[in-house]
Amino acid sequence: MWLLASNASWGIFACGVLLLIFVLMKRSRRYTRRARRDARTEHNRLVEPDRDKALIDAPREILRWQVGMHETARDLKAELDSKIGVLQATIRIANEETERLEAAINRAERLGVSACGDTLAEIERIADASVLTTGDLPDPGTSEFATISPLESHRSRIFALADEGCGAQAIAASTGLPCGDVELVLSLRAPQN
């Protein structure tokens, strides 16, 4: 009898545990359904309504304005994309030139060429307006002549055309130089009294 009562108590205990598991599983399922439903309604609330359907009854002026705004946005995006492409290309070229300059510096150091401390002073001397007008430029046979730009060889012709009253664009067309270079040479000319 004791064994029967013992089995009955274990049976009741097992039924109680199974009933508890069933109730907990049902509550868990109800909770997950509610969470999914809330998530769906939140998602539907956050999703933009269809723009075409929203403006289907709008006046013509608003529709034209909307089309204009879309075209403007597309144009701006295209401009930004092209400018970003140009910027990336410029950065790539700058990096290549930096590497080239670093290689040249390393090669000069290996060859034992010392850095010239007067480089900036020499550039300022060549760019000085009094040097350009007095003709105190190095002789073409010296090594110092190699630092002179092609603008210096056209300097006298540029000044002569400017004295005749020609503008920068006319001088550029006559000499075959870019207009900016001609303007640079003219701006370096000493003021005439």
Question: CA angle, corner 180, sides to 176 and 183, nearest 5?
Answer: 95
Euclidean distance between CA atoms 35 and 104, whole angstroms: 67
Question: Is residue 179 within 8 Å of 167, Cβ to Cβ?
Answer: no
Express each pLDDT in 5-51 by its tens digit: 567 788 888 888 999 999 999 999 999 999 888 888 876 666 555 55
Shared-domain flag, residues 142 and 182: yes
53 within domain boundaries: no
54 within domain boundaries: no
Question: Is residue 132 within 8 Å of 141, Cβ to Cβ?
Answer: no
Domain that holds residue 147: 117-188
Euclidean distance between CA atoms 126 and 136, whole angstroms: 9
Shared-domain flag, residues 182 and 131: yes
Shared-domain flag, residues 63 and 42: no
The one-letter amino acid code at 3 reads L
Euclidean distance between CA atoms 111 and 64, whole angstroms: 70
Shared-domain flag, residues 63 and 109: yes
Shared-domain flag, residues 102 and 132: no
Euclidean distance between CA atoms 118 and 135, whole angstroms: 21
Q: Which of 115, 141, 163 is the last residue of a domain?
A: 115
- Total count of domains within the chain: 3
Express each pLDDT in 71-94 by its tens digit: 999 999 999 999 998 899 999 999
165: left (phi over 0), alpha (psi -120 to 50) or beta: left
- Whether the predicted pLDDT of 100 surpasses 70: yes
pLDDT of amino acid 145: 46
75 within domain boundaries: yes
Express each pLDDT in 113-163 by its tens digit: 655 555 555 555 555 544 455 555 555 455 544 445 566 677 888 888 989
Euclidean distance between CA atoms 35 and 142, whole angstroms: 88
Shared-domain flag, residues 125 and 148: yes
Shared-domain flag, residues 102 and 129: no
pLDDT of amino acid 23: 92
- If pLDDT is split at 50, 70 and 90, which confidence band does 190 have? low
pLDDT of amino acid 61: 87
109 within domain boundaries: yes
193 within domain boundaries: no
